[in-house]
């Protein structure tokens, strides 16, 4: 069994466990580590995690991970709450994590990312070692999740998604939903319509359109935002 490591990853991460695992380095298009062809892992430092979150790049990465794996892992090294201080509201950060955890596989397999937090690269290396051992011991079967969604679930998820957008927050998310009703309508609203909501500036309107446009353009209707609206229509 082997761990495939992206050749751009720091070489010292696996130095402490190289006697215990077999690995090879190659360029990976998605993820940083693939353990025994079963588990795909994306590694980020805490500063990179927060920066990727604020730029919107993290959502795209999670989307790609769930497209190729039903249970990918996003491993974060360091303290994201310290890195977030002065840059993003703590509640918005947690809501963002919740929304990413519900991200859906566009093929309909309901892939969801799991978050693992480590203090040091050494801790992460030990995690790789133990995961390598566990996945080598037995065959892992991952069953698709069947969702039963009620109205309160939809409202909570929509609010969490909007609140996770930089500069929005929970109260403004509730105002947007009260005005437009759902994420599809918000994504389709013009800047002028968004500006009629108290607290929305031109800059925030641009960010909202940027974040939600990915789901709006997804013709498979399996991205999280469109799935939420589709589920509501079917109820």
Q: Average pLDDT over the chain, rounded to whole?
A: 76
Q: Which two three-digit tokens encode residue 229?
A: 């609206």
Dist. CA 195–CA 97, nearest whole Å: 27
Query: Which CATH number characterizes residue 194's domain?
Result: 1.10.150.20
Tell me the pLDDT band of 75, cut-offs 50, 70 and 90. very high
Query: Which CATH number characterizes residue 94's domain?
Result: 3.40.50.10130
Last residue of a domain, one of 95, 113, 137: 137
120 and 164 part of one domain: no
Domain-located, residue 143? no
Asked whether the predicted pLDDT for residue 133 surpasses 80, the reply is: yes
Highest mean pLDDT among 2-6, 37-41, 164-168, 214-218: 2-6
What is the pTM assigned to this prediction?
Answer: 0.57
Question: First and final CA of the chain: distance in angstroms?
Answer: 46
70 and 22 part of one domain: yes
Asked whether the predicted pLDDT for residue 21 surpasses 90, the reply is: no
Domain-located, residue 142? no
Domain hosting residue 191, numbered range: 151-234
Higher pLDDT pick, 57 / 118: 118
- Evaluated on CA atoms 192, 194, 199, 204, the torsion sign reads negative
pLDDT at 109: 42
216 and 123 part of one domain: no
pLDDT at 138: 53
Alpha carbon of 17 to those of 26, 35, 125, 127: distances in Å? Answer: 18, 14, 7, 10
CB contact at 8 A, 87 and 127: no
Domain-located, residue 30? yes
Last residue of a domain, one of 88, 108, 137: 137
């Amino acid at each position: 069994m082997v761990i495939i490591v992206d050749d751009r990853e720091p070489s010292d991460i696996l130095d402490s466990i190289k006697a215990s695992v077999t690995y090879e380095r190659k360029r990976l298009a998605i993820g940083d580590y693939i353990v025994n062809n079963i588990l795909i892992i994306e590694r980020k430092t805490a500063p990179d995690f927060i920066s990727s979150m604020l730029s919107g790049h993290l959502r795209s990465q999670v989307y790609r991970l769930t497209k190729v794996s039903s249970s990918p892992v996003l491993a974060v090294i360091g303290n994201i709450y310290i890195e977030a201080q002065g840059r993003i509201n703590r509640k918005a950060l947690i809501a963002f994590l919740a929304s990413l955890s519900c991200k859906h596989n566009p093929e309909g397999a309901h892939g969801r990312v799991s978050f693992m937090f480590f203090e040091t690269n050494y801790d992460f290396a030990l995690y790789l070692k133990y995961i390598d051992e566990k996945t080598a011991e037995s065959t892992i079967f991952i069953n698709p999740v069947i969702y039963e969604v009620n109205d309160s679930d939809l409202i909570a998820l929509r609010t969490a998604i909007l609140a996770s957008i930089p500069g929005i927050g929970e109260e403004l998310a509730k105002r947007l939903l009260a005005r437009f009703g759902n994420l599809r309508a918000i994504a389709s609203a013009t800047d002028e319509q968004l500006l009629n909501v108290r607290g929305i500036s031109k800059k925030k309107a641009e960010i909202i359109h940027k974040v939600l446009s990915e789901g709006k353009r997804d013709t498979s209707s399996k991205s999280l935002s469109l799935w939420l609206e589709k589920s509501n229509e079917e109820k």
